[in-house]
Amino acid sequence: MIYLRRKFFSATTLRHFMFQLRSFHNQLISPPNVNLSNSAAAASRNCFPIRYLGVFDNATKLKSVTSVHGVSIPFPANGVGRSSSFSSAAAPEKNKRKKTVKSVAVREKPAASSSEPAPEEIENVDLGKTGLSEESNSKITAAKKKKKKPVQSKKKDATDLSQVVAEEVSRKSSSKGKKTNLKESLSVSTSKEVHDDSTSTRSKKKDVPEKPLWKFTGKPLYPPVGKSVVVVESVTKANVIQRYLGDMYKVLPSYGHVRDLAARSGSVRPDNDFSMVWEVPSSAWTHLKSINVALNGAETLILASDPDREGETIAWHIIEMLQQQGALHDNIFLARVVFHEITEKAIKTALQAPREIDVNLVHAYLARRALDYLIGFNISPLLWRKLPGCQSAGRVQSAALSLICDREMEIDQFKPKEYWTMEAKFNIKERRLNKDLTFLAHLTSFDSNKLNQFSITSGGEASDVKGKINSAEFRVISLKRHKVRRNPPTPYISSTLQQDAANKLNFSASHTMKLAQKLYEGVELPNGVAVGLITFVRTDGLHISDEAVASIRSLIIERYGQNFVAQSPPKYFKKVKNAQEAHEVIRPTDICKLPSTLVGVLDDESLKLYTLIWSRTVTSQMEPAILEKIQLDIGNADQSIMLRSPSSRVEFPGHRAVLTDIVTEAGQDRESDGSNHDVAFEVLNSLKTDDLLHLVQTEACQHHTQPPPRYSEASLIKRLEELGIGRPSTYASTVKVLQDRNYVTVKNRVLFPEFRGRMVSAFLSHHFSEVTDYSFTADMETELDNVSAGITKWKGLLGDYWTRFISYCERTSNVHTHQVEKMLEKKFVDYLFGSLPDKSRSCPSCMEGTLIFRVSRFGSGYFIGCDQHPRCKYIAKTLYADEEEEDTPEPNTMIEEPKLLGFNSGSNEKILLKSGPYGIYVQLGEDRKGYIPKRASVPHVKDLDSVTLEDALALLQYPLTLGKHPKDEHPIILKVAKAGYSIRHRHKIAPVPKNMKPSEITLEKALELLSGSDVRQVGRPKGKPKTEEVEAIEVF
């Protein structure tokens, strides 16, 4: 009572509440004028246990106390008695959306016996003395007349009695105040049981049904019978589909996910059967409200999110949230449809085949989401403590980072080898043209020995071979001809589209998928019709619908001729690991929309990508190209020296005709490579066996073996696909996350691992080997696919992995940071100390210590320092300098100790340049006890040697008050920020353009910047919670 008094209530309010609670408690345990035997009393206690749920809002004001059977004990508001229900459906809609509802369970110790009441215990109720209404007595009488049933049905009889008494008590209690709907009052008995956050024990009794109670319809939804609401993911898609379906359908966007796991620790609870805490962004409530309003008078809610795991889960989340809002009344049917392409015919066809939510796909998403969360939120804190400055780790991103870092290790360990090749130029007399023609040939055999790559390994050997070639006479030994078929490439899937767009168009993976998504959702054509131009973009399937194949083949015959179409439609099969092949290839929705017809409709980048997709789709159904190859072997008299000259020409272009067609349409001149090949082929084809050849020149070429190439985005995606790591929807985001975390940088389209990323990969490989193991990550993808197919239980999968994973976390948490430093020093010893002038690694400052690898405790850097720290504070160099040219000095980006820049002319105080946990800053005066000197951060510093006394004095004048705002008289301040300078006014911050000097900023200019579009808010507005958390103890 003292706690409640201090925490929530006034004394008067608490007394009124206790009176109400005591009154209702007496009615529940022993209703007036009811003569119950001991057994009947036990039945009564079983029907009405002393357990209540208090409902609180964000202001910690108690709204009502409700028993688990739904009887609402009202609590006065402003002194007026008012009944309230625990059910979310009874709460005002405004409160449901703007307040976080938390429930606290207060339980009484359970009775010793938990046996169910027998039917004869109900017989002992004296109806004449109950004091209940005649309607209630008739219900009890009906319950008494029932025949004895097996044990499993006894609970139902007791529940019937409890519901009658609960209805009567609720009716009487609400007669003095506001009436409460009985359905709302009893809603708690069928809702999910919500536990206090402090309760860590698992609930043995689960009130959630195994299967959801949603009503799905399998009847065709087109042509329309009644009003329907269609929910898709994007606004563009909603607008396009709305034009196709008409007024009987209301198409609304969900704007992606409506809720996600709360981004904090404890959102997935392995000790509570992997229950999850969902977080609902405030913007999602606005979209859900629009759907809720549209459902008024509607008969069907059609969920048409994307046809993948993400889309299936979005549909499930929308149903869950609408159900919590009470928007799904008994007359609304649900339907799930998928649109593989956004065309009028495809959409109307899809509406004729609705289905239920694929629970297995939802489970697969939940398993994937929980798995990624558990890995990220358990490893990342360990990274923060053991490797300060390293931000995060993840299941797929860590495997991808390991690929990049392992390749970098191969490059570091690579030792180049020298080898030589020989090339000769021959001359022949062309009889028809009456001129000399030349061709090249390379050495294949010397001293009757067939050459390999390292047969000639030095310049001296190459000179000897060259001399013998120059002194010999050569003739044609043999001339071989054969034909080769070049099959068309497979149609695009997500990975191959990203690879080709990177190689041919220089697009990043994320940019490619962004453009492709726009083409899928739809664009408006010149005739005013909006249509999706390509099919669904997240796919790894290689099949094409029969209707699309027929259209493509008709176009080929019409445009290129009967000889160019494949004799029968080719069948393509996926050769990479763990392919699901659930969707079609990425292809145009209408193959007759040529790229040339979309000039001016699409922007340049979108048009290039559409052209790539269109040409790849058409070529996939065409005949192979036929090449005629010729191989000329040349030798001396005894054939101890042999050379070879190959050439080829196109006999039948086949699918290559599409490339020529596109180039011609674009108005570009074709290159003359083909004609050059044809000339070389004709030269060789004119020769005959034993024809003498004139040697013009011999050239010895020096080569060195090259290390394996670093990954580009395209080659990394290809490798991930080959290993079965990740899925089409994750490739682009994986590469982007690695760049955002500063683990990887992109230079000239090549991925370079930063030393920070290499340390993270080494740490994970050493302490969490499964996370970076390629085969394990691929096997996990297989298990997740098994969950999608209903083969594997998702919670069982999580339980098996969690048992192993948590042991890694517990073992790693006991590892000291010095042990991590020693491990990294041993692994990267050549990289860290290879450039030091003193190979003994002795400290040049104190001459006693040894240089070792150290981790900054503030996460601001990693450095090589003296092991005698803190006595010796010497720092050799940092590890963050960009690779420079050899003649360019490495910039100084670390301070060995506070650097004295000079003295302040006014106070004669020292001006120091220092390094702290948030970067480099200047300080006026020295640190003294009880005195905080003035400091200013140094933005955009690349070389500390360039910071002068004048720079420091200029920085120390900030923050500078420019004046007061004319509307509210609050100061407007010019301050130094990380990225330069900024203007601040109350909760608004506006960046100062980089081309504008701080001295040019006046009060008028500051007001202009504060009214611009780059202004951002800081802090959280009052009364508008950012998110609402909903705890789901059990998922169906």
Q: Per-residue DSSP letters for 326-373?
A: T---TT-EEEE---SS-SHHHHHHHHTS-B---HHHHHHHHHHHHHHH
Closest CA to 650 of 676, 670, 688: 676
Given pLDDT bands bounded at 50, 70 and 90, which one contains residue 381?
confident
Judged against a pLDDT cut of 50, whether residue 414 lies above it is answered with yes
Per-residue pLDDT tens digits for 830-873: 888 877 777 788 888 888 889 898 887 655 567 888 888 888 88
Q: Which tokens is 1012 given?
A: 């611009």
CATH class name, domain 228-357: alpha beta
Torsion on CA atoms 593, 599, 604, 610, rounded to nearest 10: 10
At 1030, which helix (H) or strand (E)?
A: strand 1027-1032
Judged against a pLDDT cut of 80, whether residue 223 lies above it is answered with yes
Judged against a pLDDT cut of 80, whether residue 278 lies above it is answered with yes
Domain map (residue ranges) of the chain: 2-190, 228-357, 387-415+730-815, 418-485+627-652+672-686, 494-623, 821-878, 960-1036
- CB-based contacts of 321: which residues, under 8 Å, 6+ apart? 258, 259, 280, 284, 288
CB 812 within 8 A of CB 767: yes
Identify the weakest region by mean pLDDT among 102-106, 490-494, 630-634, 874-878.
102-106
CATH code given to domain 387-415+730-815: 1.10.460.10
Q: SS3 sequence, 38-59?
A: HHHHHHHHHHCCCEEEEEECCC
CB 606 within 8 A of CB 515: yes
Q: What is the pLDDT of residue 431?
A: 60
In the chain, the percentage of residues whose pLDDT exceeds 90 is: 38
Which residues does residue 698 pair with via DSSP β-bridges, in sequence order? 424
Angle at 455 between CA 449 and CA 459, to 5 degrees: 125
Q: What is the pLDDT of residue 73?
A: 42
Rounded CA gap, 349 and 847, in Å?
82
CB 691 within 8 A of CB 477: no
Q: Which tokens is 219 given?
A: 């009847």
Rounded CA gap, 333 and 551, in Å?
37
Per-residue pLDDT tens digits for 104-140: 333 333 444 434 444 444 444 444 444 444 555 555 5
> What topology is assigned to 494-623 in CATH?
Topoisomerase I; domain 4 (1.10.290)
Peptide bond into 959 cis (omega under 30): yes
Rounded CA gap, 334 and 325, in Å?
16
Q: Quickly count: other Cβ atoms within 10 Å of residue 62's Cβ.
A: 18
Judged against a pLDDT cut of 60, whether residue 628 lies above it is answered with yes
Judged against a pLDDT cut of 60, whether residue 448 lies above it is answered with yes
CA-only gyration radius of the chain, Å: 38
Q: Is 558 helix (H, G, I), strand (E, B) or coil?
A: helix
Q: Assign 3-state DSSP to the chain and report helix, strand, coil percentages, each to 5.
A: 40, 20, 40
Please compute the mean of the pLDDT values over residues 388-400 and round it to a whole number: 85
Q: Which tokens is 975 given?
A: 């301050």
Please compute the mean of the pLDDT values over residues 631-653 and round it to a whole number: 94
Rounded CA gap, 314 and 254, in Å?
9
CA 575, 576, 579, 582 dihedral sign is: negative
At 280, which helix (H) or strand (E)?
A: strand 275-281
Which residues does residue 936 pair with via DSSP β-bridges, in sequence order? 922
Q: Which tokens is 75 given?
A: 């609590």
Q: Average pLDDT over the chain, rounded to whole?
A: 76
Q: What is the pLDDT of residue 10?
A: 60
Given pLDDT bands bounded at 50, 70 and 90, which one contains residue 982?
confident
Please compute the mean of the pLDDT values over residues 649-671 and round it to a whole number: 71
DSSP state of 216: B
CB 797 within 8 A of CB 367: yes
Q: How far is CA 402 from the centre of its chain?
A: 18
Rounded CA gap, 633 and 636, in Å?
11
Q: How far is CA 218 from the centre of its chain?
A: 33
CB 692 within 8 A of CB 472: no
Judged against a pLDDT cut of 60, whether residue 339 lies above it is answered with yes
DSSP state of 112: S
With 0.95 as the threshold, say if the pTM is over it: no
Per-residue pLDDT tens digits for 791-800: 999 999 999 9
Q: Maximum distance among all alpha carbons in the chain? A: 130
CB 70 within 8 A of CB 166: yes
Per-residue pLDDT tens digits for 357-378: 999 999 999 999 999 999 988 9
Rounded CA gap, 382 and 817, in Å?
10
Q: What is the pLDDT of residue 1007?
A: 87
Q: Is 931 helix (H, G, I), strand (E, B) or coil?
A: strand
Burial of 59 (0-12, 13-18, 19+ CB in 10 A): exposed
Per-residue pLDDT tens digits for 150-168: 444 434 444 443 444 344 4
CATH class name, domain 418-485+627-652+672-686: mainly beta
DSSP state of 622: B
Rounded CA gap, 728 and 495, in Å?
6
At 445, which helix (H) or strand (E)?
A: strand 435-446
CB 907 within 8 A of CB 926: no
Q: Which tokens is 783 given?
A: 């298990």
Identify the weakest region by mean pLDDT among 26-30, 154-158, 425-429.
154-158
Is pLDDT larger for residue 884 or for residue 919? Answer: 919
Given pLDDT bands bounded at 50, 70 and 90, which one contains residue 560?
very high
